[in-house]
Amino acid sequence: MILDTSTIFLYVAFLEDGKILYERMIEGKNNHSEHFLETIRCGLKDTNLEAKDFDRFAVGIGPGSYTGLRISLTVAKILAWTLKKPLDIISSLDLLGSGYLKKDGCYAITSIAKKGHCYGKLIEVKGGIAQTLIDDVFMPREQFLDTIKDHDNKLIDESNFSVDYRNVKGTEALDIHSLSPNYLRREL
């Protein structure tokens, strides 16, 4: 089960042996908490699965919305802890751009933050191998675009996110209890 609520999109997916059994990406307006558990419940019902059937869980750790990050991380931590299953964490930007990571090129992945800022990351894919050129950052959007201007890149944002979790490697959280989101934000 893969969960992410860090951006304007709520994302839930269930995979089995690399095959997507259920996937929902729902655009919201600061209301993920109203739809998140119901989206998971519908997926479990549609696939005839129970949370205990999953071998592991994965969650977008951010960067992103303060409240949005806490919603999916809290649910993922509770599921992993109560069911005694591993929890993988992944950059939400990696997740939202993961559909592009099989094609060579340079990808600037961004997500809206408040007051003209963005969360951003720059990845280059060569021979099917992704290399991070600029790790997750928080800065004014224009400054990020200026920072990446010398790279021939495709801009990935809310208009063209493409998720394919199979292209991304999560990192197992060793201490679920102390795991906190990647807020990656300074005071505005």
Q: Nearest 5°: phi and psi at 104?
A: -55, 140
pTM metric for this prediction: 0.91
Examine the domain organization and report whether 107 and 67 are in the same domain.
Answer: no
Rounded CA separation 94/163 (Å)? 9
What Cα–Cα distance (Å) separates residue 40 from each residue in 1, 32, 35, 138? 9, 12, 9, 30
144 Cβ neighbours under 8 A, 6+ residues apart: 108, 110, 118, 120, 137
The CATH number that applies at residue 21 is 3.30.420.40
Instruction: Burial-class residue 140 by CB neighbours within 10 Å (0-12, 13-18, 19+).
Output: middle
Examine the domain organization and report whether 26 and 86 are in the same domain.
Answer: yes
**Residue 187 has what pLDDT?**
46
**Residue 66 has what pLDDT?**
83
Rounded CA separation 87/25 (Å)? 21
| Residue 100 is assigned to a structural domain of this protein | yes
Alpha helices in the chain (DSSP H): 32-47, 66-83, 92-97, 141-147
Q: Nearest 5°: phi and psi at 4?
A: -155, 130
Angle at 8 between CA 178 and CA 38, to 5 degrees: 75
Examine the domain organization and report whether 14 and 68 are in the same domain.
Answer: yes
| Amino acid identity, position 75 | V
**Residue 186 has what pLDDT?**
57
**Residue 185 has what pLDDT?**
66
Examine the domain organization and report whether 73 and 99 are in the same domain.
Answer: no
Q: pLDDT 10s per residue in the chain (188 long)?
A: 999 999 889 999 999 988 999 999 998 877 788 889 999 999 999 999 999 999 999 999 999 888 888 999 999 999 999 999 999 999 999 999 999 988 999 999 999 998 899 999 999 999 989 999 999 999 999 999 999 999 888 999 989 999 998 888 899 999 999 998 888 765 44
Examine the domain organization and report whether 85 and 110 are in the same domain.
Answer: no
| Residue 185 is assigned to a structural domain of this protein | no
Among 116, 113, 52, smallest CA distance to 83 is for 52
Examine the domain organization and report whether 119 and 60 are in the same domain.
Answer: no
39-57, pLDDT tens digit by residue? Answer: 999 999 999 999 999 999 9
